[in-house]
Structure 1
Amino acid sequence: MQARARTDARRAAVLGSPIAHSLSPVLHRAAYAELGLAHWSYDRFEVDEAGLAGFLAGLDGSWAGLSLTMPLKRAIIPLLDGISDTAASVEAVNTVVFTEDGRRTGDNTDIPGMIAALRERGVDKVDSAAVLGAGATASSALAALAHICTGPVTAYVRSAARAEEMRGWAERLGVEVRVADWAEAAGALEAPLVIATTPAGATDAIAAEVPERPGTLFDVLYEPWPTTLATAWSRRGGAVVGGLDLLVHQAVLQVEQMTGRSPAPLRAMRIAGERALEAR
């Protein structure tokens, strides 16, 4: 592959469908401003799986990287020259960096982003955990738990097909997983760490079951926020990690990879994200 000519202006963007709600431009632009990267820009583009290859083909040498959201995290993989072990572990890429020699390399910053968000709240190790849901984010949660959970993980799912998927991911990631029916989801709340990966409203019905002394809740949603479960958890005195925490930490890693500047300005990015959500 021929190396592409570099230009002074540098570009990056987030791709997905739908994409209008994405906070990524707010976070990345805040980082560029803080780092003094006046020649950098970051945009969002509505791109689905059918249009992904054509979009990539149209990029010139000014492009430094891309962020990927659904439904592109797996669709991008065959279009890349290589992916990291982290991305391969869950077959999902959320970050593409264009190297000086013209290669497209993929990574997954969701997994280390989850770990960093938890560590920021003092959660380095737990002896057991629970995961609510079984989608793509749940597989990333299992990959993160492979690093911080020393004992079993219980995954609460809605179907036999989802249960089989979680068992497959667990075996691949080396995580000891017990799969339970969603009807028993209230039992998840007794775990020292609960990771909720479900859509808005899915956990509302179990919010009244939060124990008197809850552990840590990691709810990956950031809009609407706080969720009913997060509110109930906080009222009981439990620690809550939110979706904005995850979004910021994974974006920090993306900025560092795309710009080559480290550390990225975590605080400035978080403040920008909080202000953007308050304005909605």
Structure 2
Amino acid sequence: MKEINYGLVGSDISYSFSPGYFKKKFEKDGLKNYRYNLYDISDINQLPAIIAETKRLRGLNVTIPYKEAIIPLLDSTSKTAKKIGAVNTVTVSKKGKLKGFNTDHYGFRKSLKPLLKEHHEKALILGTGGASKAVAYALRKLGIEYDFVSRNGDEVIFSYTDLDKEIFDEYHIIINTTPMGTYPNIEQCPALDYSLFTDKHIAFDLVYNPEVSTFLKKAGEQGAVTKNGYEMLFYQAEKAWEIWNK
């Protein structure tokens, strides 16, 4: 029986949840000839050779730092991925044509929605990479205003040093879309004044390994509702599987 291949493209991704998740899925569904591989590459331009060498490759997930960089290598992108400006799911046709999709926005929206209360009207998105764009798209769909935060702020983006009590009193959802705090660098966290979190805040971390990041731990100590990125990953993976099997 010939193998059908899927995989994850990223850099320094040995920690990833995806291989274990899809291995269990294949076993549960009796898909004995299905494989999910890690494509840990230092340059996105290595990807075309991998695709050419991998027989019966049907789909890819894409993670940090290539969600934006992969777009020029694709033959087409979905309308939503085009609007977001980032891709985390790719279909590979039998003729080798690549089409990009974004399922991160779906996973994030599904995961955040149960936590929302009336006062959760505005969000701060920590980071400005590909994942942040999907989060922003999801927040727009939920009718939540947002602003970005980065190390180097400007006229339209907050810097971390801008964030004071007045801003925290206005923005009650704080979302970490950076890889900061991911295993093995688990002591790291965004440079916030964590004493500004209250029980009115949601602290959402796209990091899921460790289960409780330093960001979530410090926010939780101030009474914030906390959630990691595992459920988001589950939802986006299910949506990716649906796309691959259309």
Give TM-score, length-normalised by structure 1.
0.73
Task: Determine if contact 1:130/1:194 at 8 Å carries over to the other structure.
Answer: yes
Matches within 5 A, 1:197-276: 197-198=177-178, 199-200=180-181, 201-203=188-190, 205-211=192-198, 213-260=199-246
RMSD: 2.5
Compute the displacement of 1:186 (Å). Answer: 4.5
1:129-167 deviations in Å (ceiling 9; x for gaps)? 2222333322222111111134x323332214xx46xx5
**Would the aligned equivalents of 1:192 and 1:216 in 2 still touch at CA under 8 Å?**
yes
State the partner residue of 2:161: 183
- 2:22 and 2:37 map into 1 onto residues whose CA distance is 9
Q: Which residue of 2 aligns with 1:275?
A: none
Partner of 1:49: 44
Alignment equivalent of 2:172, drawn from 192, 212, 216: 192
SS at structure 2 position matched to 1:88 = helix
Q: Which of residues 141, 149, 165 in structure 2 aligns to 1:156?
A: 149
Q: RCO greater where, 1 or 2, for CA within 8 Å and sep 6 or more? A: 1
Do structure 1's residue 139 and structure 2's residue 126 form an aligned pair? Answer: no
8 A Cα contact 1:118 1:124, kept in partner = no
Q: Gapped runs of 5+ residues in structure 1?
A: 1-6, 168-178, 261-280
| SS at 1:251 equivalent | helix
SS in 2 for 1:21: coil
Is residue 31 of structure 1 aligned with residue 9 of structure 2?
A: no
Aligned equivalent of 1:89: 83
Distance change >3 Å, CA 186–CA 77, structure 1 → 2: same
In structure 1, the residue matched to 2:3 is 9
Which residue type is aligned with residue 256 of structure 1?
A: E
1:95 shift after superposition:
0.9
- d(CA) in 1 for partners of 2:3, 2:147: 48
> Corresponding residue for 1:69?
63
Letter matched to residue 156 of structure 1: V
Per the TM alignment, residue 38 of structure 1 is displaced from its structure 2 partner at its CA by 2.1
Extract unaligned runs of 5+ from structure 2. Answer: 182-187
Q: In structure 2, the residue corresponding to 1:240 is in which secondary structure?
A: strand
Count of residues in Structure 1 that have an aligned counterpart in Structure 2: 235
